[in-house]
Structure 1
Amino acid sequence: MSKDEPTLLPEATGTAAAQATDEHAAMMQRMQADLIDSYDEELEMEIDDRAFDAAQGCFSSEQRSQRRDYFRELFRLQGELVKLQDWVMATKHKAVIIFEGRDAAGKGGVIKRITQRLNPRVCRVAALPAPNDRERTQWYFQRYISHLPAGGEIVLFDRSWYNRAGVERVMGFCSDEEYEEFFRSVPEFEKMLVRAGIQVIKYWFSISDEEQHTRFLGRIHDPLKQWKLSPMDLESRRRWEDYTKAKEQMMERSHIHEAPWWVVQADDKKKARLNCMAHLLAQMPYHEIPHPPVILPSRERHEDYERQPVPQQMVVPEIY
């Protein structure tokens, strides 16, 4: 080696390697936490303090305390959502809640927590697929009309007519003329819904570039989540800046008094869920509806009744 060639100092090389190792460990830890978070629904549905403590052995005391606080507040908010549901039914209120955001922003997670304890006949989710050939020839808003609520219903749109302002614009699925017509029409369309007595609430879930990168890696390495990554999702990752410009245009041109946009900071999934649920509850003047006490009637018994045995070939094997 000549004296003019640079040399790598052992200490510098060791520092860089250690830093890379630390970054990899931090990334793996975040992915593991995200994986555990995706399975929390089972804990939320059937939680017991003793089982909870046993299940969280890999967490510090402070982390366990934070998770307990999260669950307690989640349950409290879900209890308020049940009261809201009763009020919606009693008053025949109609509400449309729109959830938009980048891929992996957490829209599905908050929708799941909102609907988890509610009657699906009162609070339902509309998640429309890409339009078929016939729908592409219709008035753009036409295919959404049948999903709008009747009196006493709440409809959560997991993505909505704002697809035109987002994915269709970025991926070139609509022309410039169709894009401009959308922004001429959407304020009037939403004002029309409000005049018809439908409350329209619009949420944008905002995540950082780094957080989306981490969540996409988590989906790639989790076999139970890989189905969530479509070729369109991967392409959206590459076009991050194009989506940013489209989002900014969307908010600037469709943020109206009758149906304003609300931005949920979503890098922390649990905080985003709680913040969105609390805000949603604050948008409606609901109150607790009194119910008569529920009395379980006695079962009628008849001497001539005899229960027939179930054929063994019809019984599901008890392998657990």
Structure 2
Amino acid sequence: MRDPQRKSCLVTGGAGFLGSHLCEQLLECGHEVLCADNFFTGSKRNIEHLLHHPRFELMRHDITFPLYVEVDEIYNLACPASPVHYQHDPVQTTKTSVHGAINMLGLAKRLHAKILQASTSEVYGDPVVHPQREDYWGHVNPIGLRSCYDEGKRCAETLFFDYHRQHRLRIKVMRIFNTYGPRMHPSDGRVVSNFIVQALRGEAITLYGDGLQTRSFCYVDDLVDAMLKLMGTGDAFTGPVNVGNPVECTIRELAERIVAMTGSRSEIVYLPLPNDDPLQRCPDITLARESLHWEPKVPLHQGLESTVRYFERLLSRQD
């Protein structure tokens, strides 16, 4: 007889950085997990330790095509999330956000399932309000190089709330701010993975602009904890809710910290700032504190140490 507390959970993008950690934690909580991924940016290496778990199933699938499965909850994480990857095929990126949302919402509607959308701080664009609150509508370039991701995610949020209003679908929308940790893709172009890989290889640390632009970095374990808490809230709470670390640091400070932590002799070199790259990005997490009873616990130095150790092991296998 099935445990009534056990849920069947679909995680799209489940072999990716965030998705693999979420799959792992859902199994820890006693649930059944169906991981769907087309492996554009995800990797079997991220979930190979789960492949023989009796409550885990892997399916190769692209969510721009409909999916017919039976589940209780859907976590929609599928979409390339770094500029290097989402700008590689911008049309497909928009399709993944928009067509993927339509397909997963249609599945949730048919199953009467609860569904969570992994949205992003990119919906705020290059913000003129700081820190960013959920009631801020954003400052986004609709035709820039980043628009395939920014506007795709904004449209996905629109679809989620229209399905909620029109079909009474049980939705959850989380706006994720810079997350880092083990299983990041070494070539994803994000600052944490970039700096660590460059430092470990003794290469120049490439810093864009003057390095004074700020970001706030949230460790992956804290992010997954918030995701589970959001899915566990009552139907009246839909979000959107910001999830991230409100402690800011400059990109230059991050680079210097990683160089010191790795004992690298890498020099920092400065390159022109990319188009539409935001100068400030920091969440106001008041709503997450009040509604999810959540705030990040892992300090930056501790999270970076775990991430550096992961990349040391990864690069040693590649050499």
Higher helix share: 1
- Of structures 1 and 2, the one scoring higher in RCO (CA 8 A, sep 6+) is 1
Q: Return the TM-score normalized by structure 1.
A: 0.33
Q: Return the TM-score normalized by structure 2.
A: 0.33
